[in-house]
Structure 1
Amino acid sequence: MSKLFKAPAAWLLCLALVTGMAPAPAEPVSKPEPTSSEQAVNAEAKPMTLGELRRKYSETFKFSGPEVKQIALTFDDVPDPRFTPKVLDILKKHGVKATFFVVGSRAKKHPELLRRIHHEGHIIGNHSYSHPLFKKQSVQEFKSEIERTEKVIERIIGYKPRLIRPPYGEINEEQLKWAKRQGYKIINWNVDSLDWKALSKEKVKRNVLSAVGPGSIVLQHAGGGTGSNLTGTIEALPDIIKVLRNRGYRFVTIPQLLSYKKAL
């Protein structure tokens, strides 16, 4: 018997053979449900994608407008004396109003260009003060970038814009929550000209014209960093306007496209 006690598994097997009864299988061990705090930690460990943020904050975070035959042209990284006046000349010649997203440090250096954008009837949005990657910043850093730019813009043209375009189109959930509470709208795009790559006129045209549809928000640039070459977008812009008008589209600003009564 001592050997049986030392080998309980063998003893059970013998018992089963004698009695004809097999031992009952062990009950499966179930894993406990994660607590709310554990769920929060797991959610925090995996940031939401832009697509998930777009769905969750659909009233605040916009990539396009209603599917009507309207298109909003938008221009980032302004003002820039190398490129912004040329873009403004083309828009004025063709009677198009657009939306310009302003970098605060550049507006401070070139206030006369910001005034021109405003006086010619275009909408001005906030594109940060120093063009950082927002999603890697804290809410406080994000807030500082937005409010610092607001102060520069307000000092030059008299109002604080309520439209924000994050540099590189990136933002995190905590920043979105803050923007929503403060009544801002975050404006991305669904058509990218990729003009910042110094593309040729034909490539910029193809990138825009092959992707636009009703309610599109088109990303182009009227400013850039040292060594930037936006000749392609400047040369392509008149053709883009003509082609889309021939297709029956009307050019509108972001507040017009999205029916924002309070855009400023």
Structure 2
Amino acid sequence: MSTTASSTVSPSDSAAAVPRFAILVAGGGGTRMGADRPKQFLELSGEPVLLHTLRRFAEPTLGVIAIVVVLPSDQFVTWQQLCATHNIEIPHAVVAGGASRWASVRNGLAHLADYQHGVVAVHDGVRPLTPIAVIENTYAAAAEHGAAIAAVPPKDSVRGLSQQGSYALDRARLRLVQTPQCFEIDLLRRAYQLPELATFTDDASVVEDLHPIRLVPGDYCNLKITTPEDLLLAEVLLRRENS
């Protein structure tokens, strides 16, 4: 399944200088949600979670010129039906995911093969509340530094595990990683030409051997929908945002 691959939004001056792309990865099955459908298709304020996420990256001020949604191939029909039901007219392409998140991102990146220059954001399809300012700042930082990711300081005390028990970690030196994670597109391509490793937990871990990763302040509202409690909190946050 594929729709028009290029957006009709008018890019800002900065985006015109450095083209922007987005890969929204939505390959989860939602087993931890205990729901009857994948979490990206659960309703948030009456619309699919994934639609909220897609709408963020279609914000005209961001100037994203191509959006790729990565889904398991057996979810294409469901998404197509949801697009029709909710009159989704945001231009985007839909690409089949792989056996892992790494493979899914690589498939999404392959769809952007015609673009040789610019910054690509990789974002969790189930992070529907990412502030536009966080997305903009991460794109801008990647345009300047090559690689940038959103992250927040931990609120709780953190401990590491050892054979003897556990030990305190200095949380001032730690960050909780979020998405978007933005990269110069050729840099991300080169990183994804390397073999997949078990240590790859996100795109920054794929890229970091090739290039330093810049941290951009994220937002505690930028939650990832993983459990039923997350969905309840997202409802409250979205109502507050729209009030």
TM-score, L = length of structure 1: 0.26
Q: Which is strand-richer, 1 or 2?
A: 2
TM-score, L = length of structure 2: 0.28
- More contact order relative to length (CA 8 Å, sep ≥ 6): 1
Q: Which is helix-richer, 1 or 2?
A: 1
Larger radius of gyration: 1
